[in-house]
Each structure stands twice: as structure tokens, then as C-alpha cells.
Amino acid sequence: MTETRTAIVTGAARGIGAATAKRLADDGMQVAVLDLDEAAAQPVVDEIIAAGGRALAVGADVADSDSVKAAVERVAAELGAPTVIVNNAGIIRDNLLFKMSVDEWDLVMAVHLRGAFNTVKHAQQYMVEAKFGRVINLSSTSAQGNRGQANYAAAKAGLQGYTKTLAIELGKFGITANAVAPGFTVTEMIQETADRIGVSLEDFKAHAAKEIAVARVGYPEDIANAISFFADEKSGYVSGQVLYVAGGPKD
Ligand code: NAD
């Protein structure tokens, strides 16, 4: 029997993160459901526990190194050594470049890039000690460029370079690093975009589906399924990859 692994999923109070936390728990892992507000993460924990799993709600800001350090230490003490890290926390601050503020640029970089740096930096010692680790970073099809998303596209492309570098540096410790790059996935982030451009969610989904090869939009469980593959004990020879989960070819 393989060891019970402990995962940290950031931004897991809702959307793709919540679906991933539940999926990894179904896969047999103990899961830290990390989000800005601990109380907001608790319902996901309750669902996992009700289904027979083990989970812990943790409040932390991934952009803040001290906050992440404390969170990682708490997970290690209360749940188990964290060796599966899913860097999912994300935000959008969309604007055309000429209107984009420095704050909008910096905030997106801080959550996606510094956030993914902070978690691995603080969890690294546990993975090295276990001679096992799985890092999965959430990129996006926007990494290839998307109007109104100079900040987000740069961060998501940056995460791909970060992923490949982690794979190279940490591979010899039994740690893999991969990225999942979702296309249109129905979550509150998509609702925010629909609100910003002034269309209903239903119209936005229908319009998006027309451009997608499988003729439908994605759902959080579609993305969680790919993350589950990379997190699997048996996926140890797959590292430094970017998997587009977008209902069609995207790169
Ligand atoms: P979402 O907005 O529904 O959820 C994001 C979660 O991250 C929220 O619970 C939020 O509170 C949390 N979060 C934000 N900032 C944080 C911080 N500083 N510290 C801790 N938690 C923080 O988003 P989603 O659609 O589920 O997206 C999840 C990930 O997938 C993001 O990285 C996003 O960029 C990426 N993604 C989403 C889509 C999509 O179509 N939905 C497509 C491509 C990539």
C-alpha cells in the first residue's frame, strides 16, 4: 500500500480549487483547503469529511511569504507533511494595457507568481525529506496572449517557465512539477468576466462553446481530473509538462 499523501490546494474555497480538493480527497489524499478566508474554505472541508476523507481549512494569503510559511507549518503539524502542492489561487484584474494600473499589474503577479513561489519554497523541505513531491501549477490558455489580460497572460506564461525550472531543479528528489492550462471553465471567475463585458453567463458560455473543438465549455471537474493525473504516485516520470485542458488543441 502506498503512503497517505497530504496535499495543499490553494484558492480551494470555490471553483477549480474546490473541485480539485474534493478530487484529491477521493483519490485518497489528506487535503488542506487553503484560501484567503478560513471560514470560506470550511464548507469544502465539511464535504470532504462527510464523504469519509480528511481535510483542514487554512486561511492564508499566498502572496505573503510569512502567511504561507505559517500555513505550511500548520498543515504539517495538523494533517501531515505536505508533499502535493496545487498552486491554483488566482485573480483577474483585466484592462487594456493603456488603462492598466501598476497596482493591477503587481497584484496579479503577486498572487500567481509570488504565490506559487511561496508555497513551493516553504513546502520544499517536506518534499525533499519524503523523497516525493508533486507540484501542479495552474496556467491558462491566456498564457498565449489574450486581449485585456497583459498582466494575467504574463503571469500564466511565467508559471510555465517556473514549472519547467522546478522540474529541473527538484527532479532528483523525486519531485515532479507540471502545469495544467485550462481553457474556458465555468466558475465565479468566468462570471466576473461576463459581468465586466456585460453579457449573461449563459450567452457567454454559448459563445465560448462555438470556438471549442468538443463543442462545450469546461467545468472544474474537467480540470481537477488532469490535476489528479499529475498528482498521482504513478506519474513520477512525467515532469516539466504543460497540459492544455481546453476541449481542443491550444498550443
Ligand atoms: P475563482 O475566482 O473561482 O477562485 C479562485 C480562488 O482563489 C478564490 O476562492 C479566491 O478567494 C482564491 N484566492 C485569490 N487570491 C488569493 C490569495 N492571495 N491567497 C489565497 N487564495 C486566493 O477562480 P477559478 O476559475 O476557480 O480559477 C482557479 C485557477 O485556474 C486560477 O489560477 C485561474 O487563473 C486558473 N484558470 C481559470 C480559468 C477559468 O476559465 N475559470 C481558465 C484558465 C485558468
pLDDT > 70? residue 215: yes
Enclosing domain of residue 200: 185-217
Phi then psi for residue 172, to 5 deg, are -70, -10
Phi then psi for residue 35, to 5 deg, are -155, 175
User: Do 114 and 211 share a domain, yes or no?
Assistant: no
User: Do 35 and 66 share a domain, yes or no?
Assistant: yes
Active site residue 162: no
User: Do 204 and 140 share a domain, yes or no?
Assistant: no
Q: Is 216 helix (H, G, I), strand (E, B) or coil?
A: coil
Cβ of 205 less than 6 Å from ligand 1: no
**What's the pLDDT score for residue 1?**
55
Q: Tell how far the Cα of 233 is from the centroid of ligand 1, in angstroms.
A: 25
**C-alpha separations of 123 from 7, 43, 90 in Å:** 10, 25, 19
Q: Is 205 helix (H, G, I), strand (E, B) or coil?
A: helix
**pLDDT, tens digit (0-9, with 9 covering 90-100), for 128-158:** 999 999 999 999 999 999 999 999 999 999 9
- C-alpha cell of residue 61: 494569503
Share of the chain above pLDDT 70, in %: 99
pLDDT tier at 196, thresholds 50, 70, 90: confident
